[in-house]
Structure 1
Amino acid sequence: MLFEPPRTQGDLHFRLFDFPVRVHPFFWLVAVFLGLDMKNGTPPVQIIIWIVAMLVSILVHELGHAFLQRRYGGRPRIVLHGFGGLAISEGEERSPKSQIEISLAGPCAGFLLAAATFLLVRLSGHAIGWQSGREFNFEKAGLSEAFSFPLLLGSFYWEPYAGKAANYLVSYFMQINILWGLMNLLPLYPLDGGQVARELLTVNQPQRGILLSLQLSMAVGGLMALYGLVSGQLFLAFLFGYLAYGNWRTYQSYGASRW
């Protein structure tokens, strides 16, 4: 997840805000896989909307990193691959302050995109909001019909548009940029939150701080994998189990070299 994948003939290349962008073919395959509903099936149009929302959202996330890298003197480029994206830069300032700000800039950019989506729905004359509780209450929201999805011990909802495509787009933008953004802030390496935790823990004790950050990553990854198993979200369990295992391997290697 931290390393740039090899270049292929199927790569898509373009520039955005003068940043070189490369999209690896595996990005599209994973996007399709994540957008499929294995039980009920997914219409092709819905898959396309999901891929567009995922592409835009991850690009915005990586642009958040890239703009801060450029601010600190770096020469960033963006790569989208199977497990997300990378903002790779050479030459930027490597102080804890700069690295923490660069790490946080990605999730913050996604939250801003979610806020912009929220504002556009409101400006289009449609009610939109969040309601606490396990089940969505139409009367409490003052709506006879609504689109909604679970979010932070409640439900995010909005008054539906006539076209399904617009409703899917709003749903995907909000889910990806809020839920994935919050997940990215977990203190689990190599997620952005894990990189922030590493910078904070290594300020005064670099070697011990790295070990502590890896221990924290293993604990958080294990708990999230367990949550995925209990809740029946097998992909979530696999992803966080894989990250926890990767941190354990790194912990073993780093500890052996240090000792």
Structure 2
Amino acid sequence: MRDLVKAYGAVEALRGLDLRVEPGDFLTIFGPNGAGKTTLLKILATLTRPTEGSALVAGKDVVRQAGAVRKLVGVISHNTYLYPQLTALENLEFYARMYRLPTGRDRALALVTRMDLRRRMNDRVGTYSRGMQQRLSVARALLHDPELLLLDEPYTGLDQHASRVLAEVLEGLRDGTRTVIMTTHNLQEGLAGCDRAAILVEGRLIFDRRVSEIDASGFQETYFSCVRAQVRRL
């Protein structure tokens, strides 16, 4: 990402953002509400276009090559992108057909098992709890084995069991074969899963280091001082 700007009228959600994420990185971007975290992920997922600047995913431009980028990206957000009138298995098989996966049903069965949903896979998603829907959303995002996984506040609204399952899944992704970018304002959950941490405030990246290079308590103080400074400017 280079000189990335996203404006909504007179409001700039991103202000000249520069960020390079290496293949295999697990980057957590921390920031308060309104920092621009969701906007950044939407740009990478081709759900919105930048006002200025550019962003590439595996060398492909998110604007000029949006179709190719979508095949490389999996998205987990507040919107589960699931159809409530369909069963869990039907949802995954539908997306498997969209991605033209030759072994879509086998992949779907493996993922519902991994997400601890096998016993309910033939029930309509509309009968699922929020936590179950989020776990199925993770399965949907992983279905086509994306090179880049984008997680926008994935723990929001999850119960303890769902949070534990999600944490185990994310831990399994830390093998260097897939790039992961997660946004959150929860320091404990965010630092536990990543190998790189960044702070985004008012559309600007003000901190970006490897987790091995930072002290957790020092990072916490840095983060909260940034948030307090933002509040004082409001």
Higher normalized helix content (fraction of residues): 1
TM-score normalized with structure 2 length: 0.30
TM-score normalized with structure 1 length: 0.28
Q: Which has the larger radius of gyration?
A: 1
